[in-house]
Amino acid sequence: MKGNRWVDPAPFEGARPQVPWWVWLPGWVKLVLAPFALLWLALRLAAKFVMLTVRYPIAVTAGLGGDVAYRQFGLSPLVLALLSLVCALTVWYGLDRDSFLRHGWYRVLTEWRRLSVYVPQWRTVMRLAEMTKEVRGKEYLPKLRRVRSEGWRDKVRVG
């Protein structure tokens, strides 16, 4: 038996878990900082709600109005209003199909495809298309700026 029997183990190939900095704080510091964290969270949620209201004013107003109407009058007026809306959209479709598609249906389709297709799979698609850059271990990828659906095709603008 000549030489050393020691064999170097294989290097660690997995990603090291990254622990948030606040985990290492003592319990009493977390207790003192909890109200500030909750205030920050409430302000952030309020800002998100304002941005949602600015981006989708009709949907937010209809949702809040529907909630108020349900609490005030019950379910029957809401069902009547929904049926009236469906009838009005059907008449609009029958009178001017191109206008209905351009101003109504394609906008709904755009938001649906943004939420169900592009946002959940954006990172994977950008990686597969090799459109990501890695600098010092941090991954950068283009931001999804705008989606516009036009029937059978989607126009996607990235930044």
88 and 135, same domain (yes or no)? no
| Residue 4 domain flag | no
Element (H, E) at 32: helix 27-55
CA distance 114 to 158: 13
Report residue 111 as tokens.
Answer: 């938001």
Amino acid sitting at position 18: Q
Q: Tell me, what's the pLDDT at 12?
A: 62
Asked if residue 39 is part of any domain, the answer here is yes
State the 10-residue block means of pLDDT for the chain, 159 residues long: 63 71 88 94 96 88 91 92 94 95 90 87 86 86 87 85
Q: Are residues 118 and 83 in the same domain?
A: no
How far apart CA 69 and CA 91 sit, in angstroms, is 25
The reply to whether 65 and 118 lie within a common domain is: no
pLDDT of res. 84: 95
In this prediction, residue 73 carries a pLDDT of 92
**Quick one: tokens of 159?**
């930044």
Whole-number pLDDT of residue 1: 54
DSSP assignment of 121-152 equals HHHHHHHHTT--EEETTEEE---EEEEEEETT
- Last residue of a domain, which of 69, 95, 121? 95
- Are both 85 and 102 inside the same structural domain? no
The amino acid that residue 125 corresponds to is V
pLDDT of residue 134: 86
- Give dist(CA 87, CA 42) in Å, integer: 40
Query: What pLDDT, on the 0 to 100 scale, is given for residue 59?
Result: 86
Residue 124 and residue 141 in contact, taking contact as beta carbons nearer than 8 Å? no
Same domain, 32 and 60: yes
Q: Are residues 31 and 90 in the same domain?
A: yes
154: which DSSP letter? E
Task: State residue 138's pLDDT score.
Answer: 85
Domain extent at residue 121: 97-159
- The number of distinct structural domains making up the chain is 2
Q: How would you classify the pairing of strands 144-150 and 138-140?
A: unpaired
* DSSP tag of 13: -
- Domain final residue, candidates 95, 121, 139: 95
Query: What's the CA gap between 86 and 89, in Å, rounded?
Result: 5
Residue at a domain's end among 95, 111, 145: 95
